[in-house]
């Protein structure tokens, strides 16, 4: 079958890999000059089923009010513009801020995240791909007792869903990661997830794309996707800067830009972009940088060691498709990283980056078929795109190949939002 994959980030490249393995003729289309140059370029680099707790939960509501108007807030809403899509998303988000919905969405996210972690491990064993990976687990650290107590309850829920998480005292945290020694007195405790991993997502994406091309996948870079083309209730291809590209199946894996493309054929996706920031700092001989991947819950920041570099990422900013890089925002990462890990590396040489993450109101990705025949979704992974990439790609390849996926996909598709196929907007 001729299949188009729209987007050459880690999700799109992993999808193309598994489709090729299944025997399909695959073409990947991306507007950038190579793979992994947008959200997959410099993110937090954690493979983290431990982050499966959704944003939408009862405990987030008082925090949102606390963060209003604060430029240093971990979650920042910029309301200075009229954005109907964001307002609709917020209504759906509030509808998911219930304990029962949070538990359901945790299970759904964890289902695909755990499966994806297994797929990544199998792929690594099969082809020997290297990407500065570390398999030392992820340690969440908490500064307030109430936050730690809440985390312990969530960890118990995740343990029941199959993810091994362990409660740790401040002393245990230091034993696991000595780089935290200077902040031991500030810690209330930690949660350690030994099966989680970290690794350079860009290096992985770039290498896997080369291997996929060697096996026959065609990559069309520097190619703008102008619109999807629909014939009645079936998608037949795309209009691009290279002309019309026909396909029997098309996978929409364009991250935050997926809703824009989907609207061209009457499919409305409940996804908004959440802007995130990162810095990469060099680690020199004698520096005290962590080797275990860390998550600082107070500031929603993550730390991943990538060889002689330390990646620090965090914050979420609802500001539409703005990709500017204001210094005051990424400098916050430098200040907070230096406070937690003062001797981790050369902070004066921090390289900043920003990218847009596609977030659904319930933090569960959109996987599978749509009301439009021939159009498949692999998007909406939020901050867990790297975590879910291999599993999501494998699921989509199975569905297109008319094979039963290895995990239950109920609750992972667009049908949970009860959106109907609309009349496409007129061509201009």
Where do we find the tokens 């204001």?
A: 326
For the chain, percent of residues with pLDDT exceeding 90: 88
In this prediction, residue 86 has a pLDDT band, given cuts at 50, 70 and 90, of: confident
pLDDT at 69: 66
The mean pLDDT value for 150-154 works out to: 95
pLDDT at 60: 82
Where do we find the tokens 């290297």?
A: 130
pLDDT at 315: 86
Summarize pLDDT for 355-407 with one digit per residue, the tens: 999 999 999 999 999 999 999 999 999 999 999 999 999 999 999 999 999 99
In the numeric block, which tokens belong to residue 301?
Answer: 């920041």
In this prediction, residue 80 has a pLDDT band, given cuts at 50, 70 and 90, of: low
pLDDT at 419: 64
pLDDT at 291: 97
In this prediction, residue 420 has a pLDDT band, given cuts at 50, 70 and 90, of: low
Q: How many CB atoms lie within 10 A of CB 234?
A: 13
Ramachandran category for residue 4: left, alpha or beta (phi over 0 → left; psi -120 to 50 → alpha): beta
Secondary structure class of 252 (helix, strand, coil): strand
In the numeric block, which tokens belong to residue 427?
Answer: 């061509």
For the chain, percent of residues with pLDDT exceeding 70: 96
Ramachandran category for residue 336: left, alpha or beta (phi over 0 → left; psi -120 to 50 → alpha): alpha
pLDDT at 82: 67
Q: Is the pLDDT of residue 428 over 50?
A: no
Query: How many whole angstroms separate alpha carbon 82 and alpha carbon 130?
Result: 45
- DSSP label of 371: S
Return the exposure string of 165-181: e unless at least 16 CB atoms fall within 10 Å of the residue's CB, then b: beebebebbbebbebbe
Q: Is the pLDDT of residue 426 over 70?
A: no
Angle (nearest 5°) at CA 217 between 213 and 220: 90
Contact (CB, 8 A) for 44 and 314 = yes
pLDDT at 236: 97
The mean pLDDT value for 154-160 works out to: 95
First and final CA of the chain: distance in angstroms? 31
Return the exposure string of 319-356: e unless at least 16 CB atoms fall within 10 Å of the residue's CB, then b: bbeeeeeeeebbebbbebbbebbeebbebeebebbbbb
Q: Is the pLDDT of residue 23 over 70?
A: yes
pTM confidence score: 0.95
> Which position has the higher pLDDT, 69 or 318?
318
In this prediction, residue 427 has a pLDDT band, given cuts at 50, 70 and 90, of: very low
The mean pLDDT value for 341-346 works out to: 96
250 vs 26, 244, 269, 348, CA distance in Å? 10, 13, 16, 45
pLDDT at 41: 97
In the numeric block, which tokens belong to residue 249?
Answer: 């199946």
pLDDT at 386: 98
The mean pLDDT value for 191-213 works out to: 98
Average pLDDT, the chain: 94
CA atoms within 13 A on the CB side of 352: 17
Q: Is the pLDDT of residue 53 over 90?
A: yes
> Which position has the higher pLDDT, 356 or 424?
356
**What's the 3-state SS for 126-180?**
HHCCCCCCECCCEEEEECCHHHHHHHHHHHHHHHHCCCCCEEECHHHHHHHCHHH
pLDDT at 335: 96
The mean pLDDT value for 56-83 works out to: 74
């Amino acid at each position: 079958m001729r299949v188009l994959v729209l987007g050459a980030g880690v999700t799109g490249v992993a999808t193309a890999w598994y489709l090729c393995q299944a025997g399909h003729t695959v073409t990947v289309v991306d507007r950038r000059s190579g793979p992994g140059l947008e959200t997959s370029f410099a993110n937090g680099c954690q493979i983290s089923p431990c982050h499966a707790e959704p944003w939408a939960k009862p405990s987030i509501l008082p925090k949102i009010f606390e963060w209003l108007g604060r430029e240093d807030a971990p979650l920042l809403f910029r309301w200075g513009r009229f954005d109907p899509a964001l307002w609709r998303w917020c209504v759906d988000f509030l509808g998911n801020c219930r304990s029962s919905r949070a538990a359901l969405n945790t299970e759904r996210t964890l289902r695909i995240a755990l499966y994806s972690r297994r797929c990544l491990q199998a792929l690594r064993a099969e082809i020997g791909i290297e990407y500065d990976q570390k398999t030392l687990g992820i340690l969440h650290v908490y500064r307030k007792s109430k936050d730690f107590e809440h985390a312990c309850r969530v960890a118990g829920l995740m343990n029941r869903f199959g993810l091994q998480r362990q409660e740790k005292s401040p002393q245990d945290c230091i034993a696991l990661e000595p780089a935290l020694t200077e902040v031991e007195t500030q810690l209330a405790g930690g949660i350690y997830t030994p099966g989680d991993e970290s690794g350079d997502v860009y290096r992985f994406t770039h290498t896997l794309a080369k291997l996929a091309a060697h096996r026959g996948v065609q990559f069309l870079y520097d190619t703008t996707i102008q619109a999807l083309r629909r014939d009645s209730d079936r998608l037949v291809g795309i209009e691009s800067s290279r002309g019309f590209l026909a396909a029997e199946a098309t996978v929409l894996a364009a991250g935050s830009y997926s809703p824009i493309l989907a609207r061209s054929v009457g499919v409305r996706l409940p996804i908004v972009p959440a802007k995130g920031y990162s810095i990469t700092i060099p680690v020199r001989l004698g520096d005290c940088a962590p080797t275990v991947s860390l998550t600082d819950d107070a500031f929603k920041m993550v730390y991943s060691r990538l060889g002689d570099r330390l990646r620090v990422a965090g914050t979420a900013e609802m500001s539409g498709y703005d990709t500017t890089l204001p210094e005051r925002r990424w400098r916050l990462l430098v200040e907070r990283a230096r406070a937690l890990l003062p001797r981790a590396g050369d902070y004066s040489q921090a390289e900043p980056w920003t990218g847009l993450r596609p977030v659904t109101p319930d933090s569960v990705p959109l996987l599978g078929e749509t009301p439009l025949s021939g159009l498949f979704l692999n998007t909406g992974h939020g901050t867990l795109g790297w975590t879910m990439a291999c599993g999501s790609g494998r699921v989509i390849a199975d569905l297109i190949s008319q094979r039963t996926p290895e995990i239950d996909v109920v609750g992972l598709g667009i049908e949970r939002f009860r959106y109907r196929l609309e009349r496409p907007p007129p061509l201009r």
